[in-house]
Amino acid sequence: MDIGQISQLVSALAFVFSAIVVVVQLRNVRHDRFVQITNGLFQTWQSSDFMKAQQWVINEMPINWPELQKRRGTDHETNFVRVTGFYNRIGTLVTLGLVDGQTILRTIGGTAREVWKKTEPLLADARREDATFLRDFERLLPFCEACMKD
């Protein structure tokens, strides 16, 4: 083996090693991004304000749009927007592949499903005002159902 062949072999090995390092780093970045995003979501989900709002939606919210519309500008509207917006955002993150739906919904899937049960009867009327209202939340439901079966 001459010096030229040794040089080519060393260069090839360095290239392969560099590629392996890049792949490992990309996996770590994806893992770090997942941890950062889900930590923020769980902080919101576990906050006292969110839990109170969520309990209002699940247990007390009226299930007809005209009655809910009478509460515009009140804490009830804030509760509704906070909770449904949160789950819609998770639906967006899952749909875009930024968060694994199976993983995050193992914790919050049950309450997401309960919120959806209260929200679904309002959709037809709400979507007359905004055709895309809670579409990503709706896309989240198959993930919720799958998590509840596992």
pLDDT digits (tens, 9 = 90+) for 43-62: 999 999 999 999 999 999 98
pTM attached to this predicted model: 0.76
**CB-based burial of residue 91 (10 Å sphere; 0-12 exposed, 13-18 middle, 19+ buried)?**
buried
- Beta carbons of 90 and 116 less than 8 angstroms apart: no
What region does 73 belong to: left with phi over 0, alpha with psi -120 to 50, or beta? left
Residue with tokens 């749909």: 95
Query: In angstroms, rounded to a whole number, what is the distance separating the alpha carbons of residues 87 and 31?
Result: 22
Question: Does 28 score more than 70 pLDDT?
Answer: no
